Amino acid sequence: MRLSCLGLLLLPLASQLSAQAIKNEPPLREFSAEEVEAVAMPVLAFEENEKIRGDYEKYFYFHRDFTSFDQAFADVTECDALSSGLSYYQGVDSAQMTQAMLQYGVLAGGIGGAIGGLMADAIFGSAERRKQRRLNIRNCMFYKGYDRYGLEKDLWQEFNFEEGLSRENADDREAALLMQAKVASGPKPEQESIEP
């Protein structure tokens, strides 16, 4: 009885300690001037037209005045991690599938349905995941105070990536995030920002 009373008294203290742990942020990565200079600034200038404006939901970049490269990289990386963490990636191991088919022959119809489901997911799910990732990044960067600017698709592809059914290579991902941070902390764009 005494132990349960003691536990009840310590419960608020334990919840307070765990809440403090959540507030800890990873340390800000500090870049030297040489490292920042080595990151290429992508081309952002293009001739705007109606077709390009129609794609601003997919192709855009962010900028925030008076933001250091270090902070922009931290923000872009965090929003990328949050957006990527919400995606679901599932590989298909054909050896495992073959073994299941041999062992559960009577369930071949069910397995065929599962394969059909995976194929439908590959066709329709990938686009939906990319759409959801874009929306999550937009919300995250808006929350951090960044403005969003539309961009032409080919220029966007030079420093961005899309993930549908697979994850971007870690080196390519970091290179793109570094360029995104350069843009986000660079000179203010001449064009008008668009809605978050």
What are the tens digits of pLDDT across the range 68-82?
999 999 999 999 988
pTM exceeding the 0.85 threshold for the entire prediction = no
Over residues 45-66, mean pLDDT: 96
Q: Name the nearest CA neighbour of 91 among 158, 182, 16, 166.
A: 166
The answer to whether the beta carbons of residues 157 and 172 sit under 8 Å apart is no
pLDDT number for residue 194: 94
Instruction: Report the mean per-residue pLDDT for the chain.
Output: 79
- For 111-158, the pLDDT digits (tens) are 555 565 555 555 556 788 888 889 999 999 999 999 999 999 999 999
Over residues 18-24, mean pLDDT: 49
- pLDDT of 88 higher than 50: no
Over residues 91-99, mean pLDDT: 48
In 126-176, the DSSP E strands lie at 147-150
Tally of residues, the chain: 196
Question: What is the full DSSP assignment across 42-70?
Answer: PP------HHHHHTTTTSEEEE-TT--HH
CA distance 120 to 137: 25
pLDDT tier, 94 (very low <50, low <70, confident <90, very high otherwise): very low
- pLDDT of 179 higher than 70: yes
List the beta bridge partners of residue 60. Answer: 150
Better-scored residue on pLDDT, 182 or 133: 182
Over residues 19-46, mean pLDDT: 83
pLDDT number for residue 129: 84
The token pair at 104 is 């559960």
Task: List the chain domain ranges.
Answer: 49-185
CA distance 140 to 146: 9
- pLDDT of 105 higher than 80: no
CA distance 7 to 49: 66
- pLDDT of 30 higher than 60: yes
pLDDT number for residue 52: 95
